[in-house]
Amino acid sequence: MPGTAPDKALGPTVSDPAAEQQLADATARAEQAAAERDELRAALDAVTKALTPRIRSSSKGTPARRSATNLVRATWACSALERGMAVGLPHVVVKPRASSLIRFTSLRGSAYVAPMLAYPSPWLAAVPLTTPRLSLEPLRVEHAREAVSVFDDARLHTWTGGTPSSLAQLEAQYGRQSAGRSPDATQGWLNWMLRRTSDGQLVGTVQATLYRPAAGDALEASLAWVVGVDYQNEGYGREGALAMASWLRAQGVDGLAAYIHPGHHASMSIARALGLRASDVVEDGEVRWSDSGK
């Protein structure tokens, strides 16, 4: 796109020492949490492997079999809890206790008590980033008052559908998104507002939805970007998206993807700049672009 600085100049940098320290602290917490999760998974696997032979060798309906079965169910519940998932397994009720233990109680009365580990969020947190022309600000509810006029144009919905949001709708949306994760904790939500540094004007937004295709898989991200109509054709979307993608890759996100309408040539140009390739996958009329081409 015209007006965009050379690619090599677009790598993001943390905008100030405080943000740099915040990033370092978050990275350290994430590494510690990952190590603890690996230890817990190993312990859960060991419990399951130890109990499975006992279940198979015990007669159905005997106290020994019921006890072992309840322990395995509790293990599954603990594993689901460790992943940040809501627990809804049959015959198991999860009761938090003041002693920082989780008590897994079957409907028949048998129980298993295991320590409840308190983990930081398993998802990355957005940090301030800068490019030659833009500041990428982690989304806040307060951004809505500026953004409502930037995005108040039906032309922005030509390829995605919908209509412009009111201030109240945008504030509610930003309130949900700025939480940093989905309500069920199965996705991480990263959103940045793009601010032009020359005059402080808000020009657009970029976002990444983080997920793991399966338990234990590396992080992947689905990307999106929107630039206000008055600020298009200046390369801001490309510049902001490149900064976001570069930062995500530096944090260890393994795969990037975006879903783009086949008629949206500007977005396809941004996808190509990110190293994404069109695949044969089509969802809701949009083509999946990814760095793997799948």
Question: In whole angstroms, what is the distance from residue 292 CA to residue 1 CA?
Answer: 23
Question: In whole angstroms, what is the distance from residue 291 CA to residue 202 CA?
Answer: 29
pLDDT value, residue 118? 33
* The pLDDT of residue 98 is above 80: no
Average pLDDT over residues 84-96: 32
Read off the amino acid at residue 11.
Answer: G
Domains contained in the chain, CATH given: 7-16+128-290 (3.40.630.30), 32-115 (no CATH)
Question: In whole angstroms, what is the distance from residue 69 CA to residue 63 CA?
Answer: 10
Whether the CB-CB separation of 89 and 77 falls below 8 Å is answered with yes
pLDDT value, residue 160? 77
Nearest-10 Cα torsion for 141, 142, 145, 149: -70
Q: Label residue 230 by pLDDT band (50, 70, 90).
A: very high
> What's the mean per-residue pLDDT of the chain?
75
* The pLDDT of residue 224 is above 80: yes
Q: Integer distance in angstroms from the first to the last C-alpha of the chain?
A: 25
Contacts of 186 (CB under 8 A, 6+ apart): 84, 85, 211
Q: What is the pTM of this model?
A: 0.60
Q: What angle do CA 248, 142, 147 make, to 5 degrees?
A: 75
User: Could you read off the pLDDT of 24-39 as tens digits, one per residue?
Assistant: 776 667 667 666 666 6
User: Could you read off the pLDDT of 127-154 as tens digits, one per residue?
Assistant: 999 999 999 999 999 999 999 999 988 8
pLDDT value, residue 214? 77
Contacts of 214 (CB under 8 A, 6+ apart): none
